[in-house]
Structure 1
Amino acid sequence: MRAPRRRLAGMPRDEDGSILLLTIGYALLALAAILVCVSATSLYLEQKRLDGLADAASLAGADGFTLTLDAGAVRAELRDGAVHEQAQALVDEVGADAALVWAGTPDGVSARVTLRTQWHPPLFSLFVPDGVTLESTATSRTALR
């Protein structure tokens, strides 16, 4: 024969089992927080990866200079076409899913590159958007001025 269940003093009988519902609710809340944290970390890392690729592409673009002789002094000069060609070659070589939006030189001595990619969350979540467009711009100057 089973012993009767003990009830806490002052607790009505219809409150039995409410702890289970609270536990399930908190577990679902914790799971949602974990999914959002994983997605936020993935988004942050993807942006940092795109920033690094933009830096590398702008450095490659800055290496696309031509030497010119100006009043007896040798000068390194950048042109938009050369910067774009060098940056595109690097982006193609890396094989990333980033697209080269713009590459050129605003002043003839620095290379500016803009890359764009689409980020998707690694795990399905109702709390995170399905995709976000990320963009990164980097500028590098030529070593020879």
Structure 2
Amino acid sequence: MACACKNKRQTYEVVPNAGRANRPAFTSSSRGTAEAVADRYPTSIVRDKKTGDAVYHAWPKGAYEVVVGDRVVLPAHKVRNDADKGPLRAAADERAADGAVVRAVSSGAVVYPLMAALTASGATLTAEQAPTPA
């Protein structure tokens, strides 16, 4: 007999190519697992399967900086794990009113905040929750 909770379980999909791929590369009921898998695919997005809203943009290992327009606010930091993302997110959130974003040094791809990353990548997905300025 099938499980009664099947339709109530929240599921997340990892979609490569900034969400423009036709099929998800991975599906999981755990958001953390989906985010970890997404980090293995540069420019991939994690989306909620039921709503189709993006919930995470991948930050693969590498160097990232916080910029406002063309001005570098926080110079390049190496990102190896989730803890390394904290100072970059904090600096971008602090200057959110000025339009600060976190971008990869090598490619220039925007990865945070989520709405800016989706817009910069040309993805047609919407974000689960748009960041609000503090």
> Which bin holds the TM-score, normalised by the shorter protein?
under 0.3
Q: Greater relative contact order: 1 or 2 (C-alpha under 8 angstroms, separation 6 or more)? A: 1
Which structure has the bigger radius of gyration? Answer: 1
Higher helix share: 1
